[in-house]
Amino acid sequence: MNRIDQLFQTKEKNILSVYFTAGFPNLEDTVPTIQALEAQGVDMIEVGIPFSDPMADGPTIQQSGTIALRNGMSLKKLFGQLKEVRQSVRIPLIMMGYLNPVMQYGIENFCRDCAQAGIDGMIIPDLPFADYLSQVKPVAGRYGLHCIMLITPETSEERVRQIDEHTSGFIYMVSTASTTGAKDSFDEKTVDYFQRINAMNLRNPRMIGFGISNKLTFEAACGNAAGAIIGSAFIRSLSENGDVKTAVEKLIEKLK
């Protein structure tokens, strides 16, 4: 069974997923960051593929991607780093990145190398749904990979239900239509969106991302979905602290 499915079967609430940019702050930090996150009790990890034009990301993640690319990170390098990650890590791992690097690498090559590295799924924010159905889903399915799709407050009910029907793993609920970035709290409009999606009784579990940075926002997300995804707050912690272990500890402290 896919590790993502195992996670949601064994833990229905308060799931914590953390995103980080591979190759940041240092090129060889990828596996140590994964190991440190798992050691601190993180349930799932999104490994970010740095890209030169990250249109959905705020300045914190954009800067981390720029530094990672300068460090020499590439998909080929990343798969090399992840080759033996399953010798020490058990929690679900998801590759997250934009379509351009994946297409340049080749969908078949990407899915094959994900499977060989023990990756459980992928998130490609700018992948058109029609292209997902025709080109990506069949290949990902052959390699046992979940392809997680995003919804936003502007996503129509019809599209939400299409995504729910044709994807697996979980649905990534973007809390806001803006770019990524930490927030102190969610406004009433955002909470209404959470509740509207809850009322749809979807087949897939949901994880809420964008804007999760502290105890208040983490609890609000967990109260309206299976859990929360943290990205910018962790990248900022990596920037501010001298080592990965301290950065993870500081992040977890903010959520308690």
Residue 34 lies in a domain: yes
Are 42 and 161 spatial neighbours (Cβ–Cβ below 8 Å)?
Answer: no
Residue 45 lies in a domain: yes
Residue 39 corresponds to which tokens in the numbers above? 């050691």
Average pLDDT taken over every residue of the chain = 92
What stretches of 45-187 show up as alpha helix (H) in DSSP? 59-71, 75-82, 99-105, 107-117, 129-131, 137-142, 157-166
Residue 3 lies in a domain: no
Q: Reply yes or no on whether 219 is catalytic.
A: no
Report the CATH number at residue 118. 3.20.20.70
Which among 166, 182, 16 has a CA at the least distance from the CA of 149?
Answer: 166
Q: For residue range 190-246, list pLDDT tens digits in order.
A: 889 999 999 999 999 999 998 898 898 999 999 999 999 999 999 999 999 868 889
Tell me how many domains the chain contains.
1
Q: Reply yes or no on whether 57 is catalytic.
A: yes
Residue 155 lies in a domain: yes
Residue 169 lies in a domain: yes
Tell whether the model's pLDDT for residue 32 goes beyond 50. yes
Catalytic pick among 38, 43, 46, 113: 46
pTM (two decimals): 0.94
pLDDT of residue 181: 41
Residue 4 lies in a domain: no
Residue 8 lies in a domain: no
Q: Is 69 exposed, middle or buried (0-12, 13-18, 19+ CB in 10 A)?
A: middle
Catalytic pick among 29, 57, 113, 120: 57
Mean per-residue pLDDT for 8-20? 95
Q: For residue range 125-178, list pLDDT tens digits in order.
A: 999 999 999 999 999 999 999 999 999 999 999 999 999 999 999 999 998 754
Range of the domain at 214: 13-255
